[in-house]
Amino acid sequence: KAGVTQTPRYLIKTRGQQVTLSCSPISGHRSVSWYQQTPGQGLQFLFEYFSETQRNKGNFPGRFSGRQFSNSRSEMNVSTLELGDSALYLCASSLASFSGNTIYFGEGSWLTVV
């Protein structure tokens, strides 16, 4: 059974550009969430989606957006990139959206903004 797949794994962007990251959850999983990991701030929650609906959103500016498709695949977009957006972006999936559920993570997309 394939795990959570994130693409691209590595990318370099210039300040002011935008970026789209993609996540394919484990087959059958309907819940997808995104996290940003940086050395200074640690792991911070971005969004949570279930059946194409955003259920929860973290404390990030509006430049960060996401969506989920009918096949549960998800994308996140960051517009007008800033140097501080350089981070590892992690996607996670699970069968359903409730506390205590087992949540599986992908290997992440490493974004460098120069």
Partner 1 sequence: GDSVTQMEGPVTLSEEAFLTINCTYTATGYPSLFWYVQYPGEGLQLLLKATKADDKGSNKGFEATYRKETTSFHLEKGSVQVSDSAVYFCALTQGGSEKLVFGKGTKLTVNP
- Which of the stretches 16-24, 64-72, 79-87, 95-103 binds partner 1 when contact is defined by CB under 8 A? 95-103
Least Å from the CB of residue 77 to partner 1: 20
Does 106 bind partner 1 (CB under 8 A)? Our answer is yes
Does 105 bind partner 1 (CB under 8 A)? Our answer is yes
φ, ψ of residue 4 to 5 degrees: the values are -75, 125
Residues from 13 through 52 that contact partner 1 (CB under 8 A): 31, 33, 35, 42-43, 45, 48
For the sheet with 5-7, list strands across it: 5-7, 19-24, 74-78, 64-68
Does 94 bind partner 1 (CB under 8 A)? Our answer is yes
Does 53 bind partner 1 (CB under 8 A)? Our answer is no
CB of 2 within 8 A of CB of 26?
A: yes
Q: Which helix (H) or strand (E) segment is 6 a member of? A: strand 5-7
CB of 7 within 8 A of CB of 22?
A: yes
Q: Which helix (H) or strand (E) segment is 105 a member of? A: strand 104-105
Which residues make up the interface to partner 1 (CB under 8 A)? 4, 31, 33, 35, 42-43, 45, 48, 55-56, 58, 90, 92, 94, 97-108
